[in-house]
Structures are given as structure tokens and as C-alpha cells.
Amino acid sequence: MGEAIVSDLLTEILIPVAAVIGIAFALVQWLFVSKVKVVPERQGVPSSNNNNGLDDYLLAEEEEGGNEHTVAVKCAEIQNAISEGATSFLFTEYQYVGIFMVAFAVLIFLFLGSVEGFSTREQPCTYSKDKSCKPALFNAIFSTVAFLLGAVTSVVSGFLGMKIATFANARTTLEARKGVGKAFITAFRSGAVMGFLLAANGLLVLYISINLFKLYYADDWEGLFEAITGYGLGGSSMALFGRVGGGIYTKAADVGADLVGKVERNIPEDDPRNPAVIADNVGDNVGDIAGMGSDLFGSYAESSCAALVVASISSFGVNHDFTGMCYPLLISSMGIIVCLITTLFATDFFEIKAVKEIEPALKRQLIISTALMTVGIAIVSWLALPSSFTIFNFGTQKEVKNWELFFCVAIGLWAGLVIGFVTEYYTSNAYSPVQDVADSCRTGAATNVIFGLALGYKSVIIPIFAIAVSIFVSFSLAAMYGIAVAALGMLSTIATGLAIDAYGPISDNAGGIAEMAGMSHKVRERTDALDAAGNTTAAIGKGFAIGSAALVSLALFGAFVSRAAISKVDVLTPKVFIGLIVGAMLPYWFSAMTMKSVGSAALKMVEEVRRQFNTIPGLLEGTTKPDYATCVKISTDASIKEMIPPGALVMLTPLIVGTFFGVETLSGVLAGSLVSGVQIAISASNTGGAWDNAKKYIEAGVSEHAKSLGPKGSDPHKAAVIGDTIGDPLKDTSGPSLNILIKLMAVESLVFAPFFATHGGLLFKIF
């Protein structure tokens, strides 16, 4: 079979070094952002009562209208209000999530410990009955520790992202006064800080966990990597609450601000007279930044865990080939280096001088990272893998060549790019689909909604074919391991993907701050251009997240079927079919819960904003300040209360089905939720993105066609705002949360598989 060129010792050095390089690069980018004209407070300038260490004022060299000190002070105050609101919400959310985390950790220990009656005796291995493996009790302890590590890393990832975004938003606004290029670099560097910190931290914590667990498990790699799956479960369970809670918060505020402000009162977006405006900007950070960070971390952790579990029962694990075993981690390490080089193209090698160059620069990031990563995968596959090896394939060992594994990872990587560009085609206002949606606004909101829904459904076709081709090729070449590494390939450029994703909400916040600080029209135009490009790239990011979730979920499903000793999943068996049909229903139930939650919270927000406009004298004239704090409280209370039922649905379903109906029915539930969840997630995200950009297309009025539909406040524009408002919960709450649903149920089933296989199916045993 041959041996890998890279030694085990070199592997043990390369992985942590790549992670440390990623963290160092993130800190360098943060230093560049922090240098954006922060000067000591000058005499005579009032204090901004800043609690975030931002006592210095942000000043720019040129100001087009207005006193630079006054504008800087306003920016610092607004930034402080947004940062405080976001921090306060996340701390409240984490208190509730912390209680859940401890309770679920206890549940993992009790369920897994009871598999062998909390025995401390060694047991025959699951896949090699002639060998002895560590006791079930210790597997339960280590699975619980891994779960807590994954959960904490996920929470930290989201929180760091939020702090970076709130640190960068006002700096981006002030840089926009010098030109669009300066503002772009500030926003993009800030996104890169989050991207590299998350990718590097995820890799480092996983690598350290494996090495620490190895001290106890020694040669029992089967038990070691089974326990490590708890890491993926912890990451995704926190991501679920982050995505749902943050999504409800941001969309309740956004819908309330838009309906009353823009439609009823005819005031601009982010106008300081709007009481919901601070809550809206806080929401961008807790939903689009913190939630998204936790989500993509969860995907990364789960794809790594799925690949490691299958590898541990293949020749890598049986022969204790540490370098081959760490192939998924080496791919991620190479991804960090590739993304580092790619980022330099945006920040150092090319300078943006005009608005029209922004979107191509972001797209160039995706293409460059994918092209370089393809070469990187080839190098890792050649150096880290033996020329041939065997992969576990449902009870048999399949012989695989190293070049076949290269193709598995590469096809996942390129499928991600295809999904990204198809998503862009359907959600960018530069192309006909969104322009058709905008044109439909001529005849009112109803036709806009019809066209938007049709666009979303149609946008599912090519991504599903891309995912299907990836699954077929990767499974044919390397069985379930091939699918797991294909998912990892799609996520290998996560640092660049996250940088592009985070750039959008930072630019959106920058535009809001410019409007609230009373900056010139030119500055707002620049921030709007940054935001419009960010909107499309955010949709691309969601496409990546959904595509990778489908592959990750399938890989985890394969690992679950193997671990639960299911010989085949036969849909003609009643046990499986009832699971299949119920599983397909779950994404609809989950979407109904999250949509209604946003609607209920938005209802309260609309009533509060209306009350303030009607009862506070001088608010509409701008002579009195609105009560921002009440709106922030409404969003916070609603999201904390409303995130619990959808979270409980996802977390309890595998436990209930596995315990009472058994592993065969659970396998049907997982397959059903995967198949229907992916379709709904893609269509919901793209429909919402298209409605949002149709509205922006009319507002920008760049082409003659767009001008004929405008200006702001016209009937077509009002119809577009209604479409955008309907799309908000689709693209930022239900759609992105669904990919967590399909991954989380699969990884949870895998973690609890030993219990379900031993004690599950109580109802069928009784009757």
C-alpha cells in the first residue's frame, strides 16, 4: 500500500503551526483596522460616555459637510449604542443557552453511560470484535467533554465575530468619506479577522482535543474518534440557538423599522427618527455575524468529525496511520494558508477605485481561493496519503487510491463555487431574475410576491444537481468518507467565505451609522454600494452553508447507519417509511415556528414604533429623540422566548424517535429531513435575497429601467419594500436555520447511536 511522504511528527507540527499562522494573520488585520484614524479626545469635545474602550474619537482627513468633531462624536456614540445592545443580547442569550448546554451534557453522559450499565470494564470493539475497547462509561465522559468544548468554541466564535463587527462599523463609515476603496478595505479586513479566527480556532481546539483524548485512549482509535463526534454536536447545537435567536431579533427589528418608517411614514432607511433603527443595526451583528459564525463553525466541526469517524475504522485507524488519519485536518490547515494568500489580493495587490469594482473584487476572492485550494488539495493528497489504502464501506473495506480522494475533495470545493455563482445569479440585481422581480412591482406587492416565490423555487434546480453530482462521484470513489471530505472541500476556504460574509453586515451597519450621524449624501451612496455588494455575497455564503450542510448531513447519516449496525435502509419497510415522511415534514414545522416567531415579534415592534410616532411630540420633525431602548428590549425578549420551541423540536426529535421507535425509523427521519430541508433552505434564502435586492435596485436607480420604477416612496418602491419585508424572515431566519436542523439531527443521532442500538425502539419491543 505504501506510506505517506509526510511523517507523523511533521503532521503534528504542521497542523498547529497553520492554526497559529491563521490567528496571527487575524490579529495583523485587526491592527490595520484599529489604525483607522483613532486620535485622543481633544479639548472642548464632549465625552461620549463610552463603555467599550472607545474613548478615543474616530476622525477622518476629509469631511464633506458638517463639523468633523461633531460627526466623529456622533459615530462613536452610535457605535457604542450598537455594541452595547449586541453584547447585552448575546450575554442574555448565552445565559439561557448555558443552562441548556449543562442539561444536555448530563443527558449525553446518562444515555451513553447506560449502554453497558455504567460499567468500567473493557468491551469488545464495535467493528473489530476480536479487540478490546475502552469502557462505555469513559466514552460517555469523553463525549460529554467534547460536546462542551464544541459548544464553548462555537459561542466564542460568534461572540468574537460580533465584537469585531461592532468595532469596525464606524471605522468603515468614516473611511467612506475618503473614498469607496478605503471603506472597502476596512470592512473586508474586519471580515477577515473573523474568518481567520474562527477557522484557526476551530482547527486548533479540535487538534488539541484529539491529542489530549489520545492520552487516555492510546490505541483505541475507534473509541477516541467516536467520542470526538461530541465536538460537532456541541458546535451545531449552539449554532442553532445563535441562528434562530439572532435571526428572530434582527428580523423583528428590521420588519418593524421598514413597515412603519419606510412604508407608513415615508422616511429613509436607518433614519435616526425611527425608534427601531438601533435594534435593526444591533440585529445585523447578532444574527448575520454571531449566528453565521457559529453556523459555519458547526459545519466545519461536523464535516471533520464525520470524516474522522469513518477514517478511524478504515486502514488509517486500523494501522494507526496518524498522518492519513489527520488528512481532514491537513486539508483545513492548507485552507488557512490559501485563504491568507487570497485575502492579500483584496487588501494589498489590487486597489478598488470605483463602486463598480466592489462586487468583482469579492467574486475574485471566491475564484482565486478555489483555484489555489485545488492545487493545495493535490499537494496534501500526494504528501499525506499512501498511494493506496482501504476505506470502511458498510461492513466491507473498499480500496482507494490517493488521487481518488483528491477528486472527492476537489469536487466538493468546485460544487461550492457553482452553488455560490448560481445563488449570485438569482439574487444579484445585475442579472435578469432580480430585475424581473423589480419590474413586477409596477402592478403592486402581490405580483412581486408571486415572482419572488417562483424565482426561489427555480433557483433550487442547479444547486441540487451540483450536490447530486458531488455525492455520486465522491461516494463512487471513496464511499461515505468521500462524501465527508467533499463537504470539507466545500468548507476548506471557510476563512475567505466568512470574510466575504461578515463584510456585508459591517457595510450595512456603516450605512446606518452614516445616515444616523447626518453625513453627506455622497458618503451614504458609497456605503450603500458596499452594502449592495455585501448583500449578494451574503446570499452566496448562505448557498455554501446549505450545500455543505447537505453533504455533511449525508456523511453523518452514513456514519450513524454504520454505528447503529443497520445493514440497509429499506424505504419499503413501514418502520423506515413512516420515519421518511415525518422527517420530510420537520423542516416545514420548523420553518412555521421561526416565521411565526418573527411575525409575532415584528407585530409588537410595529405597535411600539407607531406608538412613539403618535405620542412623542416633535419625533417626526427631528426635534426629539426616540426611545431606542424599548425597541431593543422588545427584540431581545421576543427572540429569547421564541428561540426555545424550534430548538427543542430539533434537539428532542432524534432522542424521542431513537428511544421509542428505534434506529430504522430514525434513519428514515434523517433521510426525509435532509431531502426536504435542503430544498426549502435554498428557495427561502434566495427568495428573500432576490426581494431585498429588487428593492435596492429600485432605490439605486442606476439604469433607465430602475429609474422608471423609482424614486423612493413611489408605488413600485412601496411594493418592493413589502416584498423585502416578507423575505426578511425567509432569508435571515428560517432559511439559514434549516441547514443547522439537518446537520444537527444527524450528528446528534450519531453521538447517541450506541444507546439507540442497545436500548432503542421501546414501542416496537412492547407491541
Does 687 have pLDDT greater than 70?
yes
Which residues have a Cβ under 8 Å from the Cβ of 751 and sit 6 or more positions away? Answer: 108, 112, 143, 147, 229, 230, 233
User: What pLDDT, on the 0 to 100 scale, is given for residue 529?
Assistant: 82
Mean pLDDT of 293-318: 87
pLDDT band at residue 338 under the 50/70/90 scheme: very high
Q: Retrieve residue 45's grid coordinates.
A: 469635545
Geometric angle at alpha carbon 161, from 688 and 233, rounded to 5°: 80
Query: Cα–Cα distance between 156 and 11 in angstroms, integer?
Result: 27
Please report which confidence band the pLDDT of residue 211 belongs to, taking 50, 70 and 90 as the band edges.
very high
Is pLDDT of 65 > 80? no
Residues 302 and 237 sit within 8 Å (Cβ to Cβ) = no
pLDDT above 70: percentage of residues in the chain: 95
pLDDT tens-digit map of 702-757: 888 988 987 888 899 989 989 998 998 898 889 888 988 999 999 999 999 989 98
Phi and psi at residue 388, to the nearest 5°: -145, 155
253 belongs to a structural domain: yes
Those residues with Cβ within 8 angstroms of residue 562's Cβ, 6 or more apart along the chain or in another chain: 310, 313, 392, 394, 395, 480
Average pLDDT over residues 299-312: 89
- pLDDT for 359 equals 82
pLDDT in tens, 242-301: 888 888 988 888 888 888 887 788 887 778 888 888 998 888 888 888 888 888 888 888
DSSP, residue by residue, 561-620: HHHTT-S---TTSHHHHHHHHHHHHHHHHHHHHHHHHHHHHHHHHHHHHHHHHHHSTTTT
Q: pLDDT tens, 99-111?
A: 999 999 999 999 9
Q: What's the pLDDT band for 38 if we cut at 50, 70, 90?
A: very low
pLDDT-based confidence at residue 700 (cuts at 50, 70, 90): confident
Whether 64 is in a domain gets the answer: no
Q: Checking DSSP bridges between strand 396-401 and strand 38-39, what pairing results, if any? A: unpaired
Q: How many helices (H) and strands (E) does the chain have?
A: 26, 6
Which of 590, 607, 724 lies closest to 276 in space, CA to CA? 607
pLDDT at 509: 87
Up-side HSE of residue 138: CA atoms within 13 Å toward CB? 15
**Which residues does 96 contact at the CB level (< 8 Å), separation at least 6?**
241, 640, 644
pLDDT tens string 396-416: 888 889 899 999 999 999 999
H, E, C per residue of 665-717: HHHHHHHHHHHHHHHHHHHHHHHHHHHHHHHHHHHHCCCHHHHHHCCCCCHHH
Q: Which residues contact 26 (CB under 8 A, 6 or more apart)?
A: 192, 193, 194, 195, 196, 197, 200
In a domain, 649, yes or no: yes
Q: Which residue has the cell 407491541?
A: 767
Q: Residue 46: is the preceding peptide bond cis (ω within 30°)?
A: no
Structural domain of 453: 10-39+88-766
**With 50 as the cut, is the pLDDT of residue 540 above it?**
yes
Cell numbers 444537527 label which residue?
Answer: 744
Confidence of residue 1 (pLDDT cuts 50, 70, 90): low
Is residue 54 one of the residues assigned to a domain? no
Supply the DSSP string of 426-480, one letter for each residue: HH-TTSHHHHHHHHGGGG-HHHHHHHHHHHHHHTTHHHHHHHHHHHHHHHHHHHH
How far is CA 78 from its chain centroid?
26
**What confidence score (pLDDT) does residue 670 get?**
95
Choice among 167-181, 312-326, 350-364 with the minimum mean pLDDT: 350-364
CA distances from 273 to 69, 270, 627 (A): 22, 8, 10
Contact between residue 486 and residue 467 where contact means Cβ atoms under 8 Å apart: no
One-letter identity of residue 42: R
Would you state the pLDDT for residue 453?
96
- And the C-alpha cell for 705? 429601467
Report the half-sphere exposure of 97 (CA within 13 A, side-chain side).
Answer: 29
DSSP 387: S
Could you report the per-residue pLDDT of 345-396, keeping only the tens digit for each? 888 887 787 778 888 888 888 899 999 999 999 999 999 988 888 888 877 8
Cβ neighbourhood burial of 214 (10 Å; 0-12, 13-18, 19+): middle
- How far are the Cα atoms of 292, 503, 739 from residue 243, in angstroms, in the given order? 7, 18, 10
pLDDT value at 464 more than 90: yes
Nearest 5 degrees, angle CA 669-CA 143-CA 385? 85
Residue 644, in any domain of the structure: yes
- pLDDT of res. 61: 37
Residue partners of 293: CB distance under 8 A and separation at least 6: 157, 158, 160, 161, 162, 194, 198, 242, 498, 502
Overall domain count for the chain:
1
Contact residues for 335 (Cβ-Cβ < 8 A; gap 6+): 199, 373, 376, 491, 492, 493, 494, 495
| Cβ atoms of residues 731 and 692 within 8 Å | yes
Q: Could you tell me the pLDDT band of residue 424, with boundaries at 50, 70 and 90?
A: confident
**Is the CB of residue 329 less than 8 Å from the CB of residue 336?**
no
Full-model pTM: 0.88
Give the pLDDT score at 759. 87
Percent helix / strand / coil, the chain, rounded to 5: 80, 5, 20
Residue 41: predicted pLDDT: 47
pLDDT digits (tens, 9 = 90+) for 591-650: 999 999 988 988 999 999 999 989 999 888 888 888 988 999 999 998 898 889 999 999
Domain contains 76? no
In-domain check, residue 74: no
- What are the backbone angles phi and psi of residue 501, rounded to the nearest 5°? -65, -50
Which are the contacts of 204, defined by CB distance < 8 A and separation ≥ 6?
A: 16, 19, 20, 23
**C-alpha torsion sign, points 267, 273, 275, 280:** positive
Cα 347 to its chain centre, rounded Å, is 23
Burial of 656 (0-12, 13-18, 19+ CB in 10 A): exposed
Which are the contacts of 641, defined by CB distance < 8 A and separation ≥ 6?
Answer: none
The neighbour count for residue 621, using CB atoms within 10 Å, is 8
Q: Give the chain's mean pLDDT.
A: 87
Share of the chain above pLDDT 90, in %: 41
Q: How far apart are CA 757 and CA 663, in angstroms?
A: 6
CB burial of residue 357 (10 Å; 0-12, 13-18, 19+):
middle
Q: Is the pLDDT of residue 696 over 70?
A: yes
Which grid coordinates belong to 568? 440497509
pLDDT digits (tens, 9 = 90+) for 566-576: 878 888 899 99
Tell the burial category of 732 from Cβ atoms under 10 Å away from its Cβ (0-12, 13-18, 19+).
buried
- The answer to whether residue 51 sits within a structural domain is no
User: Could you report the per-residue pLDDT of 653-686, keeping only the tens digit for each?
Assistant: 999 999 999 999 999 999 999 999 999 999 999 9
